[in-house]
Structure 1
Amino acid sequence: MRITSRVHRPSPVGVNRAARSALGLALTCATAAAVLAGCSMEEASCGGGEYPVMTVGGTGSACVPNGEEPPEGYTRYPRGKVPEHVGDKWDTYWQTHTVDKDGKVVEVPDGE
């Protein structure tokens, strides 16, 4: 029979297995949370209760409270082309395009 000190006494086999299972479960949960949070970490174009508007003839934008009309010099984005998040497809598109005073989508001249 082998004699060991209390400091170096091996723990029962079941305890190590349970600790490894708990650690594995914790790591799995943390990984899943990080993956799921990745989608929600995108910065929204506007806060809750607001919608985005764009400047007429330029690439500026603003947020307007729901139920209010855009201020003078601004217009709503065309239906189906509204940016939802900073850097998304439509946010990038509207950096080089705008709506003119007649409501027509046009490219922005260089330098504007």
Structure 2
Amino acid sequence: MSSKSTARRRVRRGLGLALVAATAAGLLSACSLSFQDAMCSDGEYPALAVNSSGGQCVKDGQEPPEGWVRYPEGKVPEHVGDQWDEYWTTHTVDENGKIVPLPPGQ
């Protein structure tokens, strides 16, 4: 065997391994994005406690119970730990619907 054919095989093997590794990394990263914990199940939406911390899920088509409101439009948490989930750990909505800092001890 010539050294050229051995070198070509090594290059092809290296390229093949690199392709396999890149494909595996892409699949793993895509899978991790699709398994984020949703705030609520299908058929539900998240609601926010008035003047307090906390949230709950309400069935689609129903209004939140007394003392709870829908999150303001555009500020609805969709997944645990997302931007809005984190934001609402330090903020709430008052009885007038105004976004306010979360009271101390809440």
* Structure 1 residue 41 displacement after superposition: 2.4
Q: Which consecutive aligned stretches of 4+ in structure 1 deviate over 4 angstroms post-superposition? A: 16-26
Between the aligned partners of 1:89 and 1:50, the Cα distance in structure 2 is 20
* Residue 69 (structure 1) aligned to one of 54, 63, 66: 63
Higher helix share: 2
Q: What is the TM-score of this pair, normalised by structure 1?
A: 0.74
* Alignment match, 1:91: 85
Between the aligned partners of 1:87 and 1:72, the Cα distance in structure 2 is 26
**CA RMSD in angstroms, aligned pairs only:** 2.3
Stretches of structure 1 that go unaligned for 5 or more consecutive residues are 1-15
Between the aligned partners of 1:30 and 1:69, the Cα distance in structure 2 is 44
* Structure 1 residue 25 displacement after superposition: 5.3
* Structure 1 residue 18 displacement after superposition: 9.0
Q: Name the amino acid aligned to 1:108.
A: L
Q: Larger radius of gyration, structure 1 or 2?
A: 1
CA contact (8 A) 2:52 2:103 kept: no
* Structure 1 residue 71 displacement after superposition: 1.2
* Alignment match, 2:30: 36
Between the aligned partners of 1:105 and 1:69, the Cα distance in structure 2 is 19
Q: What is the TM-score of this pair, normalised by structure 2?
A: 0.78
1:108 aligns with 2:91: no
Stretches of structure 2 that go unaligned for 5 or more consecutive residues are 1-9
* Structure 1 residue 102 displacement after superposition: 1.0
* Structure 1 residue 23 displacement after superposition: 5.9
**Aligned residues: percent identity?**
47
* Alignment match, 2:72: 78
What are the residue-to-residue correspondences of 1:49-68 with 2, within 5 Å?
Answer: 49-68=43-62
